[in-house]
Amino acid sequence: MKDPIELAAALASFDALWSPRIVTRVNAYDVRIAKVSGEHLWHVHDNTDEFFLVLDGELHVALRDGAGSERTVVLPTGAVFVVPRGVEHKPSAAGGASILMFEPTGTSTVGDRHDDVPAHVDATTGHALR
């Protein structure tokens, strides 16, 4: 059994942006944390919802519906939001943010369908905390 993990210390252990660390697992789900700044990319998870909790800063999540119409939700520190499966979305954080995510183990950061992956985005299923 793992000991408790302080998120502030876990966040202080890495600098990479858009490159989630797996803090712990709950059944077949990962709890991941990430530092983010600037824009991620448009992507879709076809088979899973994706949970966001903002630990620090402000996260924007742009959402596109089936008809291509867009809106953006704003998550201040301490807000939670779930992107339902199948909904195209693009997270961003102009001023930087730290976030916690809850998603099935093996879920890719760039989803099942996505735009070209820019160099600043890590296409990964999450990295171990050191």
Q: Site residues (CB under 8 A) for a copy of itself?
A: 1-8, 23-27, 29, 31, 48-51, 53, 63, 73-76, 78-85, 87, 100, 102-104
Residue 7 Cβ vs a copy of itself, minimum distance, rounded to whole Å? 5
Is 10 strand, coil or helix? Answer: helix
Nearer to a copy of itself, 38 or 51 (CB): 51
* Nearest-5° Cα angle at 110, 108 to 116: 145
Residue 55 CA to residue 58 CA, distance in Å, equals 9
Q: Residue 17: name the closest of 82, 98, 71, 106 by CA.
A: 98
Residue 28 CA to residue 26 CA, distance in Å, equals 6
Nearer to a copy of itself, 1 or 119 (CB): 1
Nearer to a copy of itself, 82 or 118 (CB): 82
Residue 35 Cβ vs a copy of itself, minimum distance, rounded to whole Å? 15
Residue 11 CA to residue 82 CA, distance in Å, equals 22
Residue 128 Cβ vs a copy of itself, minimum distance, rounded to whole Å? 15
The token pair that represents 114 in the structure block? 């996505």
Nearer to a copy of itself, 37 or 48 (CB): 48
